Structure 1
């Protein structure tokens, strides 16, 4: 189905969701209409499939960037600083919009088996990547986890869902409190090593 998704992505980029023409996509891709409808259920399913793939690509890119940054830190406190900076960077309207969009994509995908499996596979891959990052930090003596690294990785991956519920208030005060408490929870689980400055 990669062929239909490649053409659908170009169609979506050029015309947007309102003017998205599924028949044009089918014709240009050379994939049969029956096959497209069998896998995706129709026009909306194809659009959702493109959005799911974008979501997967974005998360993989973010994980790669996080791995690169964490590889350069020298203490557990710096690890937590990186995580906190990422949470604060997503505190604005764009961050709220992105979380809302992701929730909508996940909800839409639940009715299309092939997309449900894609999201499940993406979650497994992302959890493995985050687990490897945390294992690397533990092996370097930056953190001393009190729970299994795999469980912590899965917990971290689901944090955005709770934050999405808080987004409905559009409150900077509530969001700041959520970040503060979330970091407190992660600090308890990860047990970061002190920074060089705090040791001196």
Structure 2
């Protein structure tokens, strides 16, 4: 019986790329692009430099691939969480109550780091056309999915939008991404107010009932 000899090599190649990507993302999270240490990545992934060049072309090829993977993963996760929020809610009140809790949760350390990582990706994309094209494609696809989730809310009659929902999607993401300004300002006393204001703005943008806006405040006083 003939033996296909190239299969193990192909499998090894996939495993090598996966190890490099895991360690590259760890290094990016710790030190960012400017202080990215490829030697640490090679050592921790137990990978030869020649393998890195073979699979990614260069150190920066690996960095850009890791950043794109991180962005795509985060967009997919965002969409999955929001869709689950909609699908598991049995009423408008329950949905906007859960959304309010989520808005206040965006002030946590985990979300702050998440926003910093996304900034790094966008920053790198401004100087790399290939990465920029990939980021654009991932973002357009992800935001279309988010718009479809808003359409589910509209079809249920939970929101009555006066604006185009695709446009609203970008407004909402701009609002959420803009939270990074407060992160850098380091004014924790404004975080609760940011959450209250954010949910009120989102309710207005999607055409939700204003009666649910006070939930943002009441949820913090219970």
The TM-score, its normalising length taken from structure 1, stands at 0.78
Describe the shift of the 1:6–1:123 C-alpha distance in structure 2 as closer, same or farther (beyond 3 A): farther
The match for 1:107 is 123
Note if contact 1:84-1:179 (Cα within 8 Å) is conserved in structure 2.
yes
Higher relative contact order (CA 8 A, sep 6+): 1
The match for 2:48 is 24
Asked which structure has the greater CA Rg, the reply is 2
Determine which of 16, 20, 25 is the counterpart of 1:11: 20
Matched, 1:70 2:79: no
Determine which of 177, 191, 194 is the counterpart of 1:161: 177
The match for 2:7 is none
Describe the shift of the 1:72–1:14 C-alpha distance in structure 2 as closer, same or farther (beyond 3 A): closer
* Structure 1 residues without counterparts, runs of 5 or longer: 196-200
Deviation of residue 135 (structure 1)?
A: 0.5
The match for 1:134 is 150
Describe the shift of the 1:125–1:172 C-alpha distance in structure 2 as closer, same or farther (beyond 3 A): same
The match for 2:141 is 125
The TM-score, its normalising length taken from structure 2, stands at 0.72
Deviation of residue 51 (structure 1)?
A: 2.2
Describe the shift of the 1:134–1:4 C-alpha distance in structure 2 as closer, same or farther (beyond 3 A): farther
Once residues 194 and 70 of structure 2 are traced to their aligned partners in structure 1, the CA distance between those partners, rounded to angstroms, is 27
The match for 1:49 is 65
